[in-house]
Structure 1
């Protein structure tokens, strides 16, 4: 008798993408929502609304005061159990095409461009990695890196983290033509790749770490800096009540559930007591038959 296939998940983090711009400019993703093939939730990021702390939030489900990654300037390995750690420990294959700070959190720190650009080590949490180190590294190249990793190594968990939206936001502001254009470019790439991923049995999550204000800044408490989208494609999940906003600490345990993993205890109890993961909550209502 053949063994059932392990779940496969692709997570895309579009760095610096605010919620309102996503709903207005991600035409392909919104097409999937209109057709009932995807859902989109509003997520409120943790504080501080900075990149490296929120990479840790997204992948460990722990807040900055607990995990110690409180600023972009802290360069060290995470001390938490990330989704990469949990997946690798369960015998799943992991891969990431991402900014080098992701490597510094989960594989090795500090990052050395000549040594660490490409990584293949099955003893690491991220077993196969393509890491870039310039904010203007083209998203088109980044997604090509990801597709190489996917087709060459067949990961169960593939993490794709692009930087062009954030880069445009800092250069031109979060309400600029340049910012909108970078979001639309990312949507075009997703429109080419998501159908293939779905046809090959992947679940797909598209989200962001933080938003961007009109002055090209983030890190504070304004909605423009904190509200981000969470698209889930390929699963039927009980909708939230209109106007309800999710906390970002719920994203890591959601990834775990999509991969068939038990979230770590700190994900489910210590830091998410108001949103416990159980079969009675929306995060546990993934329909594995559909």
Structure 2
């Protein structure tokens, strides 16, 4: 069965904060309407390499996107590519590195910030380039894309949690409160997405450490959440999804042909 899918990547959200600070998401879990899984991110635990890992199922050492300053188009097939090849509609409200990986590189704000290009992998986009771009605005951008274009696959990618972590560190009220604010942004839209028939996944690329950075092996850097909501998910507590399986699992939900690993136990 073909489903519409929304993937939310809460940049820089460590599992240890997600499991207590995301009250709205956790309310769905408490009500038996969502499941929360613990993922271990690939290495290096840096943003651009892990965007590529999530979107293509390819670890950085294979993709060649091994640090944040590799500015080029991906050489891999992403969720966007699989969806487009299946004749589906794609959209993203996301950091500009997503545009550079899957649409055009380098990013040109005048050309790329607001994208309407049916021939590109990401057909409709609102892309930002400041880490302090408000999450509230980003979620509004995403909802605009959803309402205007009814995409089959929508990526929602806010940055304020990561920004707070780099400024204040993991064990800080600023970092935890940034996660709580993102959860409140989700509360504004999540039920409406579900009512519209979307399957929703909420995850992160990497976590954060007390040195106000990430790139290594510490659990707080590598362990990230995966919340799943929607009637296509099994909510099986014993499922053990991997970050490298998100691309294939989402492609499977979309009904888009793919050759990527996916987590069968995650779906009904």
- The normalised TM-score by structure 2 is 0.96
Superimposed CA distance per residue, residues 42-98 of structure 1 (whole angstroms, 9 cap, x where no aligned partner): 000000000000000000001112111011010000000000000011010000000
CA distance in 2, matches of 1:224, 1:175: 10
Superimposed CA distance per residue, residues 15-45 of structure 1 (whole angstroms, 9 cap, x where no aligned partner): 0000010011000000000101000100000
Alignment equivalent of 1:226, drawn from 222, 227, 248: 222
Alignment equivalent of 1:181, drawn from 155, 177, 181: 177
Structure 2 contact 34–235 (Cα < 8 Å) conserved? no
1:20 corresponds to which residue? 16
Structure 2 contact 228–235 (Cα < 8 Å) conserved? no
2:97 corresponds to which residue? 101
2:112 corresponds to which residue? 116
Instruction: Answer yes or no: is 1:143 the counterpart of 2:139.
Output: yes
CA distance in 2, matches of 1:143, 1:95: 13
2:256 corresponds to which residue? 261
| Runs (5+) with no aligned partner, structure 1 | 269-276
Alignment equivalent of 2:203, drawn from 200, 204, 207: 207
1:59 corresponds to which residue? 55
TM superposition outliers: structure 1 runs of 4+ over 6 Å? none
Secondary structure at 1:205 match in 2: strand
Displacement of 1:175 after TM fit?
A: 1.2
The 1:199–1:103 alpha-carbon spacing in structure 2 relative to 1, beyond 3 Å, is: same
CA distance in 1, matches of 2:185, 2:13: 15
Displacement of 1:245 after TM fit?
A: 5.4
1:128 corresponds to which residue? 124
| Runs (5+) with no aligned partner, structure 2 | none
Q: In terms of mean alpha carbon deviation, does 244-253 or 208-217 score higher?
A: 244-253
Q: How many residue pairs were aligned?
A: 267
Displacement of 1:192 after TM fit?
A: 1.2
CA distance in 1, matches of 2:175, 2:97: 22
The 1:82–1:135 alpha-carbon spacing in structure 2 relative to 1, beyond 3 Å, is: same
The 1:163–1:127 alpha-carbon spacing in structure 2 relative to 1, beyond 3 Å, is: same
Superimposed CA distance per residue, residues 229-264 of structure 1 (whole angstroms, 9 cap, x where no aligned partner): 0000013415243xx854311111111112122332
CA distance in 2, matches of 1:218, 1:190: 25
Structure 1 contact 46–247 (Cα < 8 Å) conserved? no
Displacement of 1:215 after TM fit?
A: 1.7
CA distance in 2, matches of 1:122, 1:252: 21
1:272 corresponds to which residue? none
Structure having the higher Rg = 1
Structure 2 contact 37–225 (Cα < 8 Å) conserved? yes
RMSD: 1.4
1:239 corresponds to which residue? 236
CA distance in 2, matches of 1:194, 1:238: 17
Structure 2 contact 35–235 (Cα < 8 Å) conserved? no
Secondary structure at 1:232 match in 2: strand
